[in-house]
């Protein structure tokens, strides 16, 4: 099947060809015709499956048919949970609309709002946004959602996990009741289904890959290792393998900073990216990593779904996640668009339960190796790491985390891609502590 057979215009086909794409992915084959038919769509798609083009291409085609008004009210809104994902989606929108008379913009917190306001004043057809900054600029009167024709919720499950449900409800109230709605999620949890029922009208269900499945192109491996030897092992793997582009995940921001410093001390160029970093620092770190000026990018889970790095060869879980679904999203940064990739996890004794949960979720038994000189500690406890060291055990503790996320949605909005100073000033101490542990 070709992109042309999906009913896309010549301008879009030209843009797609310029990006080097020839054959639509399964999610694109299924979603694009439905969106063009103006149906509401509930889509399940894993990272790296091309879902962004699955909604962006038909959205652009629909808007290009309409008459361009002088003041260009926002007609399509794409909501994302993180700044990185917003920037990634915007980059795709810009690339695909190169040969169309459409204007787009991206807004998120952590940066000065003035350039964003100036762009909005010039007129915007497609707006990509994080919830907090969107509500801030709307409250200040700098944008209106009264003319929205198409709404896209991208990574909806992540949005709920990060406590944006209240913000989403407020945004829904600002838009016309009659509109097309597209909801993309990696999982179809109970909460996602409830959200879909409240937003979508007679939606068509699209599933491109089995829920929580990992991409076949990703080679997975576990190294059993003593906790105290993890840093030396990861440095050895990167140095001996002469790897030049490695994305490393830690469970906490403090852990990311600490590991980054150790890498630099060992002569490996590295940068950290997490919620406590300014947007400028995050953008600089990501740019350096993409250009190979930085060999290792150390990230927390805020980056698991928001990073799009073409042909990324290696992902390492320095600490495997407490929540099994996050493993799928982390390693999904490699093996994208059909390319090969390698995912390595360093697992200490206290992460045994987490590894078992991941294997149960994905249905895969991950091969285990032990490297000489980096053996696991036979006397170490297999009790899971404490709640304060991450997002909590899957199950009951995750529910607690979600509950707290909901209560602290305003504080989280600013820290994870939301608003600026006005929300930051209202953070309570418990909200800040929770964010520091988790993002």
Least confident piece of the model among 156-165, 175-184, 227-236, 288-297: 156-165
Q: Which of 158, 176, 207 corresponds to the end of one domain?
A: 207
Q: Is the pLDDT of residue 380 over 50?
A: yes
At 132, list the tokens. Answer: 């907090």
Is the pLDDT assigned to residue 181 strictly greater than 90?
yes
Same-domain check for residues 257 and 348: yes
| Domain shared by 291 and 410, yes or no | no
Does residue 349 sit in the same domain as residue 422?
A: no
Tally of structural domains, the chain? 3
Q: Please name the helix (run of DSSP H) or strand (run of DSSP E) that holds residue 44, with its range, or none.
A: strand 41-44
Same domain, 347 and 408: no
User: Of the residues 207, 233, 253, which one is the last residue of a structural domain?
Assistant: 207
> Is 223 in the same domain as 271?
yes
Q: Would you place residue 185 in the very low, low, confident or very high pLDDT band (cuts 50, 70, 90)?
A: confident
User: Mean pLDDT lowest for which of 89-93, 306-310, 377-381?
Assistant: 306-310
Residues 293, 427: one domain? no
State pLDDT tens for residues 242-283.
Answer: 999 999 999 999 999 999 999 999 999 999 988 788 878 888
Same domain, 83 and 110: yes
Q: Which domain holds residue 75?
A: 4-207
The whole-number pLDDT of residue 389 equals: 44
Euclidean distance between the first and the last CA atom of the chain, given in angstroms as a whole number: 40
Q: What is the pLDDT of residue 260?
A: 95
Please indicate, yes or no, if residue 339 is contained in any of the structural domains.
Answer: yes
| 429 domain residue, yes or no | yes
Residue 422 confidence (pLDDT): 41
The torsion angle over the Cα atoms of residues 338, 318, 324 and 332, rounded to 10 degrees, is -10
How many angstroms separate the CA atoms of 69 and 67, rounded?
A: 6
| CATH at residue 108 | 3.40.50.300
Q: Are residues 239 and 177 in the same domain?
A: no
Return the minimum-mean-pLDDT range out of 185-189, 192-196, 232-236, 312-316.
185-189
Same domain, 185 and 145: yes
254 shares a domain with 190:
no
Q: How many beta carbons lie within 10 A of that of residue 266, not counting itself?
A: 15
- Are 296 and 147 part of one and the same domain? no
Task: For residue 212, tell me if it sits in a domain.
Answer: no
Quote the pTM value.
0.65
Same domain, 202 and 95: yes
Residues ≥6 apart with Cβ < 8 Å to 151 = 76, 77, 79, 175, 179, 180, 181, 182, 199
């Amino acid at each position: 099947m070709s992109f042309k057979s999906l009913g896309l215009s010549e301008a879009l086909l030209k843009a797609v060809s310029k990006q080097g794409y020839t054959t639509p992915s399964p999610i694109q084959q299924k979603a694009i015709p439905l969106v063009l038919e103006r149906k509401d769509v509930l889509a399940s798609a894993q990272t790296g499956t091309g879902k962004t083009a699955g909604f962006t291409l038909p959205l652009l085609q629909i808007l290009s048919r309409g008459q361009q008004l002088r003041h260009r009210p926002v007609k399509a809104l794409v909501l994302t949970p993180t700044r990185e994902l917003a920037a990634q989606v915007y980059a795709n929108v810009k690339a695909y609309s190169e040969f169309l008379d459409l204007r787009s913009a991206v807004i998120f917190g952590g940066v000065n709002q003035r350039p964003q306001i100036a762009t909005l004043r010039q007129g915007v057809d497609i707006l990509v946004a994080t919830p907090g900054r969107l509500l801030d600029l709307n409250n200040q009167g700098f944008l209106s959602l009264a003319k929205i024709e198409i709404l896209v919720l991208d990574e909806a499950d992540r949005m709920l996990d990060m406590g944006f449900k209240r913000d989403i409800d407020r945004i829904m109230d600002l838009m016309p009741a009659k509109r097309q709605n597209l909801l993309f999620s990696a999982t179809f949890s109970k909460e996602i289904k409830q959200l879909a029922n409240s937003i979508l009208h007679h939606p068509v269900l699209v599933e491109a890959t089995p829920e929580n499945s990992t991409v076949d192109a990703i080679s997975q491996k576990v190294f059993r290792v003593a906790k105290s030897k993890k840093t030396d092992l990861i440095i050895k793997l990167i140095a001996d393998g002469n790897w030049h582009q490695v994305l490393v995940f830690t469970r906490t921001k403090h852990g990311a900073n600490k590991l980054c410093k150790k890498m630099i001390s060992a002569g490996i160029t590295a940068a950290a990216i997490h919620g406590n970093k300014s947007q400028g620092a995050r953008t600089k770190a990501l740019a350096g990593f993409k250009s190979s000026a930085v060999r290792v990018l150390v990230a927390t889970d805020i980056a698991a779904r928001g990073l799009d790095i073409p042909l990324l060869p290696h992902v390492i879980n320095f600490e495997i996640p407490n929540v099994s679904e996050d493993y799928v999203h982390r390693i999904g940064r490699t093996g994208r668009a059909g390319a090969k990739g390698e995912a390595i996890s360093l697992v200490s004794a206290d992460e045994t339960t987490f590894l078992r949960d991941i294997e149960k979720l994905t249905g895969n038994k991950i091969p285990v190796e032990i490297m000489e000189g980096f053996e696991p500690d036979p006397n170490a406890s297999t009790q899971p790491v404490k709640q304060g060291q991450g997002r909590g055990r899957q199950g009951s503790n995750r529910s607690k985390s979600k509950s707290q996320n909901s209560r602290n949605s305003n504080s989280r909005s600013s820290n994870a891609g939301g608003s600026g100073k006005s929300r930051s000033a209202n953070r309570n101490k418990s909200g800040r502590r929770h964010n520091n542990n988790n993002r």
